[in-house]
Amino acid sequence: MTATLTPPSIPSLAVELRGLVCTFGTVKSGTVKSGTVKFGTVNAVDHVDLEIRAGEFYSLLGPSGSGKTTCLRLIGGFERPTAGQIRLFGQDVTGQPPYARDVNTVFQDYALFPHMSVLDNVAYALTVRGVDKATRNKRAGELLELVKLSAFASRRPAQLSGGQRQRVALARALVNTPKLLLLDEPLGALDLKLREAMQTELRSIQQSLGITFIYVTHDQGEVLSMSDRVAVFRDGRIEQEGTPQDLYEYPRTAFVADFVGGANVLPGALVGRVGGRFALRPERVEVSADGPGLNASITSVHYLGAQTRLELDANGVSIHALIASSRKFTPGQTVNLRWDAADLRPLED
């Protein structure tokens, strides 16, 4: 199976979601008219339209309960949509069970099979496809090499560390080269250092295998460094979609401005505009002890290492700013704030 050239017949879209709705609660699927929400039910996913290109590292970002996991489970086939359509690589899979979809998942709790060795876990997808033992063990061995766990092949999952389990789950999900891999907060249980190492590793594995990844997280830092594109979820809807740069530089709503990178959301009147609200990145706020600019007083100072975060109050509006730690300010001090007018991003209401 060597594909040196991508055949033109392979569709360029890996995933298409059309008007996808998933309702939990007492209302049975099919009885919900679009647009109406009955008492006692929640639209965990609420009319989501999404297109993910083949080969992309695509992230679903959003706060807890915003519907990211549900969206992923709909794509994997573990939840049935109340309405809408799911297409994978051009094929409608809406009613298909998980085992009929060419999609694998790395579960948040890894879901390794405790009674099987690491090797048997990794080989599972081949075992159920009837691949003979020698072939599947060879292939599983290759995957264990990829995730640098060859020495652990005969161990049980319980004898591994969290990070090692995470790699086994990844190897197991990749063994039959799925076209699409779903990852639900796969690094959530790891410590910061391991997390960062795994981020780099995941990204490089994704690029070398050319598999489409859909990555769920609520960690915006993770998303910005790894993703090709990102969808920001809020209450089951996509609030904004785009490249990490788009989201960070041009947030369209106050929610995105705040959630991705923690921007200031300021009323137009304060920043010399007429009406509306504007996003301003904390690191673009210039703070000086004197000179022209908006008058503000420092309410608190948080030392973060290389940078220091200032909480300020300007005419009753709270603003925060990130400055180099070499500059010293004290709480209660009155300062002047300035910014480049081009850094003010108008927000929709």
Partner 1 sequence: MRSERSSWGLRVAAYLGVAFLHIPLLLIILYAFTSEDRTYTFPPPGLTLKWFGVAFARQDMWAALWLSVRVATVATLIALALGAMVAAAMARARFRGKDSISLLITLPIALPGIVTGIALLSSIKRAGLEPGLATIVIGHATFCIVTVYNNVVARLRRLSPSQLEASQDLGARPFQTFRYVLLPHLATALLAGGLLAFALSFDEVIVTTFTAGAEQTLPIWLFGELFKPRQRPVTNVVAILVMLVTLLPILLSQRLTQGHEEMDGAGKST
Residues making contact with Mg ion (CB under 5 A)? 69
Residue 24 interacts with partner 1 (CB under 8 A)?
no
Residue 127 interacts with partner 1 (CB under 8 A)?
yes
Token pair 């790894």 is at which residue? 226
Residue span 138-177 as binding mask against partner 1, x where in contact by CB under 8 A, dash where not: ----------------------------------xx--x-
- Interacting stretch for partner 1, rule CB under 8 A, among 99-107, 132-140, 253-261, 338-346? 99-107
Residue 70 interacts with ligand ATP (CB under 6 A)?
yes
Q: CB under 5 to 8 A by kind: which of ligand ATP, partner 1, Mg ion, none does 103 bind? A: partner 1
At its nearest, how many Å lie between partner 1 and the CB of residue 213? Answer: 15
- Residue 99 vs 303, nearer CB to partner 1: 99
Residue 64 interacts with ligand ATP (CB under 6 A)?
yes
* 3-class SS string, the chain: CCCCCCCCCCCCEEEEEEEEEEEEECCCCCCCCCCCCCCCEEEEEEEEEEEEECCCEEEEECCCCCCHHHHHHHHHCCCCCCEEEEEECCEECCCCCHHHCCEEEECCCCCCCCCCCHHHHHHHHHHCCCCCHHHHHHHHHHHHHHCCCHHHCCCCHHHCCHHHHHHHHHHHHHCCCCCEEEEECCCCCCCHHHHHHHHHHHHHHHHHHCCEEEEEECCHHHHHHHCCEEEEEECCEEEEEECHHHHHHCCCEHHHHHHCCCCEEEECCCCCCCCCEEEECHHHCEEECCCCCEEEEEEEEEECCCEEEEEEEECCEEEEEEEECCCCCCCCCEEEEECCHHHCEEEEC
- The single residue among 5, 8, 39, 99 that binds partner 1, judged by CB under 8 A, is 99
- Interacting stretch for ligand ATP, rule CB under 6 A, among 63-71, 162-170, 285-293, 337-345? 63-71
Residue 68 interacts with ligand ATP (CB under 6 A)?
yes
Residue 66 interacts with ligand ATP (CB under 6 A)?
yes
Ranges within 207-246 binding ligand ATP (CB under 6 A) = 218
Residue 62 interacts with ligand ATP (CB under 6 A)?
yes
- Interacting stretch for ligand ATP, rule CB under 6 A, among 29-37, 49-57, 68-76, 222-230? 68-76
Q: Which residues bind ligand ATP (CB under 6 A)?
A: 24, 42, 44, 62, 64-70, 218
Q: Which residues bind partner 1 (CB under 8 A)?
A: 76-78, 97-99, 103-105, 107-109, 111-113, 115, 124-125, 127-129, 172-173, 176
